[in-house]
Chains A and B, each alone.
Chain A
Amino acid sequence: MARPVITFLSDFGPAAPSVCRGVMFSIAPDANIIDVNHQVPRYSIRDGAASLVFALPYMPVGVHVAVVDPGVGTNRLAIGIRVARGDLLIGPDNGLLVPAAERLGGIREVRALENRDLMLPVISSSFHGRDIFAPIAAHLAMGVPFERVGPIVHAEALVRLPSPAPTVADGRLETRIVHVMTYGNVTFAGRTADLEAAIGALRPGRPLRVTFAAADGRPSVIEDTTWGLTFGSVPIGASVVMADAEGNLSLADNQGDAARRLGLAIDRPATIAAR
């Protein structure tokens, strides 16, 4: 039998996840635990959700634990979601899990995590990753039936993140930054078709202007760039707008860090136009 797969994402940073791994291995000694990402910016549910959407389609079917949980210990629910692909997603009910659940074929069943037999004997109010999510995920990976975790919750009742959508305006696409990737590549809301709806057909080399409005005390930024198919289609250090590995619009510097160069962060409004 293949080893049970558990994937694990958090905003804990490099050291803290080992405790949760220990809890999971205590319950599921042969588990194959894949650390998806523990560098999610602290408390950024949006970044955690984006990272899960990016990663989970490429993970084996299994149990996926995600903990970006600024509301730990408050009355926010702890939940498990069963999705169409057969995976189980475990974490807080704060919107973190829903986009990835939809990417894995959609939500089939949601349950509140309430069965204390599947949690650690002592539960703190500040570390549910260790005390609730990790042990429940490990028990599920070992074959405990999903219905044993707790009662059903209506999917419509789940907390959902606002999902920014681009707006096609006259000769421009109004969008915003939804994710900043490890190389400093900036992901926008919207796909190639959205930009084409705004400015017409895109061919490599077409000149574009991306304008980032002033925000959070940062002045507005104008970046003159071109449409391309990949980083190497422009000189080193030059920027390019393209469809990223997920098919979303993105701005990148070839062998550089566009986010740092331009001072960009998640949620910054952006306008993409022809020039």
Chain B
Amino acid sequence: MSRPFLSFLTDFGPDGPAPICRGVMLTIAPDAQIVDIGHHVRKYAIRDGAFLLWSAMPYLPVGVHVAVVDPGVGTDRRPIAVLTQRGDVLVGPDNGLLRPAAERLGGIREARVLENRALWLPVTTSTFHGRDIFSPVAAHLAMGTPFEHVGSSIDPAELVPMTMPTATVRDGGLDTAVAFIDDFGNARLAGWPDDLVAAVGPLEPGRALIVEVGHGTSNEAPPKEVRTTWQRTFGMVAIGEPLLYQDSSGTISLSDNQGDIATRLGLAVDQPARIRPA
């Protein structure tokens, strides 16, 4: 039998808390294979965590996925587990964090509230449910505890939603927004190349485009215009030059080749952007 598989994502940072959860999981599931998706999620940024989880899921084996970006820990927000159509179980807080990943895994088959204290650590605190609740429940599930043992079933429609930015074709351009900024400063935008094709026509490498950032009703600052080109990858433009491309998740991204465009332009998550022909 192959080793039980768990993945793990948090905003805990590089030191103590994440390894402690790992210890809890390995105490219950000594042979588990635990993959750290990352613990550098911007602290308290549920949306960033949801995005990274969504990005990672297609590349992980079917298993139990624990995610903890949980500013509401110890309040009345519910701890939940979600069984997906692919057969994975996602474990974490009911704050929207798990929703995009669940959709990516085929959608929610069943959702349950974590209520069975027999699967938790004997003592639980009000500030560290990653250690006390999510990790032990996940490890028990990885060891074969039936999903229905975690607690009572809830209607998936009652789960806290997660709104990700979307792309809209309008007046010969694409209205989009910054969905995520990665460690390189690459700005992941909402929408897929097909959306951009629908807005501006065929995308040949080298096609000149203009990205207006800061444009939008909620932003009083005048839009900044970035003149750029559609490209296949970073190295097709000079170092420091911007490019638009289909990123490794399949969506549209805006980058500087070997640079940090987010810092250069002061980009932030949710900032509106509009792409139009040059």
Contacts and interface: CB of A to CB of B under 8 A. Distances in A.
Report if A and B associate in a common complex: yes
A58 B27 contact: yes
A36 B71 contact: no
Nearest to B14: A39
Interface string A46-71: 00000100110011100000000000
B266 interface: no
A37 interface: yes
Interface residues of A, number: 35
A96 B131 CA distance: 24
A59 B27 contact: yes
Contacts of A255: 43-44, 71
Q: Is the interface of A mostly helix, strand, loop or mixed?
A: loop
A182 B17 contact: yes
Contacts of B71: 231-232, 236, 254-255
Interface string B122-144: 00011110011000000000000
A89 interface: no
Contact of A230 (B14, B17, B30, B126): B126
A58 B23 contact: yes
A55 B19 contact: yes
Contacts, number: 94
Interface string A28-52: 0000101111111000000000010
Interface string B66-80: 000001111101000
B19 A36 contact: yes
A37 B19 CA distance: 7
B73 A182 contact: no
Residue of B14, B15, B24 ringed by the most chain A CB atoms within 10 A: B15
A192 interface: no
Given A2-B30, A51-B15, 6 more contacts: A7-B19, A7-B23, A231-B127, A232-B74, A243-B125, A245-B125
Interface of B: 12-17, 19-24, 26-27, 30-31, 43-44, 71-75, 77, 125-128, 131-132
